[in-house]
Structure 1
Amino acid sequence: MRWGPSGELGTVLWIGGAQWAGKTSVAWLLSRRFGVTAYHYDFHDARGHYDRALAHAGRYPHRHAWQVLQAHDPDTNWVRPSPEEMADNCKRGHVERFGMVLDDLRALSSGRPLVAEGWGLRPELVAPLLADPRQAVFLVPTEAFRQRRLRELPRAADVSAPVSDPRRARANRVARDRLPAEDVVERAREHGLRVVEVDGSLSVGGLAGVVADHFGPWLSRCGVS
């Protein structure tokens, strides 16, 4: 089930984009400053979503298949496919998982603004739910900042599974992650949604301030300046 602009998700503020752009930190800071609930996509995906996909293969066939392969033949996910094939698999998985996100958000909806963040919150999925385009923003790192994050955070390229060729798996992951990031920019602009390029010139607090200004009409309702 989906909810349109006048439904239960009318107060959700969406932070999508690419990996390693600061989405989680920004949402956390906004929750602390304005007292809003923060919904973290990766947290829920690694826990409840994983179990739901295993339990309901018919409802989540793509995600279910990916998880089974990850457990029994991770080379099929990380070593053998091309980055382009991996990016396409990601996109299909995000579509399935977005249904789980909506179920989660319905349970959290209270009439107050709620900030949802995650790279699976893609523009074409979010756009039909918006009452106003300013309810969504997409953070995407510049290529220079992406390379910096890869140097600073080894886990940004890690593959959390035993594979036959770790070097190739890491290279595939890095190349894969670049493709959805480029696609997010194109899709956001198609839907008239804002993209913020993250180049590292702002602190996390500064970036949170940019996003807070963007969401100003909704966050002002929380009674915190």
Structure 2
Amino acid sequence: MDAASTRAALHLRDRLAHVYWIGGGSGAGKSTIAARVAHQYSLGRYATDDVMGEHARRSTPENTPYLRQFMAMDMDDRWVNRSPDTMLDTFHWYRGEAFGLIVEDLLALPADRGVIAEGFRLLPELVAPLLAEPRRAVWLLPTPEFRRAAFDSREGLWQIAGRTSDPERALRNLLERDRMFTERLDATVTSMRLPVIRVAPGTTEDDLAAQVAESLGL
């Protein structure tokens, strides 16, 4: 990185110094915990899941080739006809597409109030260069047992799978893809020595919120 790029990166870190980041695997409770911690500490909240549709519209084909491929598929091609490995490797958000739009959104928020950004799109390799200090971010990684229990209580995955010709196979593919994504996150945050909380059965919402607040230095 040359001197100009280094200065630009440091300037961006300074502009995002009011942001706390909560990433992690599906089913870990990121949205629930982010909302609780934001309310408790009078922080704003930016949910990356909520802006996926908007980001798809704002993105360009050149910057989001995997998103364009995904949008061109029907539901069976997305969730039934491909292996979980292929689904993992080609899923646009898992590849960090449109992450720059997340940064743009955060820069547009008032900098005089802290804000929690949360969602699975906050990949550690993309967030880490934006951190003034590592403790400004934490990744929640559910154990397989916790993740399964969380998914069993949700309707979202069945709503996706139910729009295919083989809902049971689609659901199995989705669950396996998300399991592998969580394992990949675990390996990345561990190798980068970033803060992580592993969420196991028996972890209460109160306990997890307290752990996240402590990890973030709130």
Query: Which bin holds the TM-score, normalised by the shorter protein?
Result: 0.7 to 0.9
Aligned-partner Cα distance in 1 for 2:32–2:13? 29
Query: Shift in Å at residue 110 of structure 1?
Result: 1.1
CA-to-aligned-CA distance 1:102-149 (integer Å, 9 cap, x gap): 111111141432110001101111111111111111101111112212
* Partner in structure 2 of residue 223 of structure 1: none
> Over the residues paired in the alignment, what is the CA RMSD in angstroms?
2.1
Given the superposition, is the C-alpha separation of residues 13 and 189 from structure 1 closer, same or farther in structure 2, using an over 3 Å criterion? same
CA-to-aligned-CA distance 1:45-86 (integer Å, 9 cap, x gap): 1x3113224xx32332221221232xxx22221111110111
Return the letter of the residue paired with 1:20. Answer: G
Aligned-partner Cα distance in 2 for 1:161–1:106? 38
Query: Shift in Å at residue 170 of structure 1?
Result: 1.0
Return the letter of the residue paired with 1:51. Answer: R
Return the letter of the residue paired with 2:18. Answer: T
Query: Quick check: 154-163 or 197-206, which moved more?
Result: 154-163
Aligned-partner Cα distance in 1 for 2:68–2:26? 22
Query: Shift in Å at residue 34 of structure 1?
Result: 1.1
Query: Shift in Å at residue 150 of structure 1?
Result: 2.7
* Partner in structure 1 of residue 37 of structure 2: 30
Given the superposition, is the C-alpha separation of residues 157 and 173 from structure 1 closer, same or farther in structure 2, using an over 3 Å criterion? farther
Aligned-partner Cα distance in 2 for 1:110–1:175? 39
Match of 1:49 among 55, 67, 88: 55
Gaps of 5+ in 2: none
CA-to-aligned-CA distance 1:7-62 (integer Å, 9 cap, x gap): 311221110010111100111111211111111011111x3113224xx3233222
Return the letter of the residue paired with 1:39. Answer: Y
Aligned-partner Cα distance in 1 for 2:76–2:212? 38
Contact 1:42 1:118 in 2 (8 A): yes
Given the superposition, is the C-alpha separation of residues 143 and 6 from structure 1 closer, same or farther in structure 2, using an over 3 Å criterion? closer
1:63 partnered with 2:67: yes
Query: Quick check: 86-95 or 135-144, which moved more?
Result: 86-95
Return the letter of the residue paired with 1:35. Answer: S
Q: Within 5 Å, give how 1:167-186 maps onto structure 2.
A: 167-186=168-187
Count of residues in Structure 1 that have an aligned counterpart in Structure 2: 211
Relative to the length of structure 1, the TM-score reads 0.85
Residue identity over aligned pairs, in percent, reads 34
Given the superposition, is the C-alpha separation of residues 94 and 40 from structure 1 closer, same or farther in structure 2, using an over 3 Å criterion? farther
Return the letter of the residue paired with 2:200. Answer: D
Contact 1:29 1:205 in 2 (8 A): no
SS of the equivalent of 1:202 reads coil
Relative to the length of structure 2, the TM-score reads 0.88
Aligned-partner Cα distance in 1 for 2:24–2:206? 18
Query: Quick check: 100-109 or 179-188, which moved more?
Result: 100-109
Q: Within 5 Å, give how 1:77-156 maps onto structure 2.
A: 77-90=78-91, 93-156=94-157
Aligned-partner Cα distance in 2 for 1:91–1:18? 15
Aligned-partner Cα distance in 2 for 1:23–1:83? 23
Gaps of 5+ in 1: 220-225
Aligned-partner Cα distance in 2 for 1:154–1:210? 27
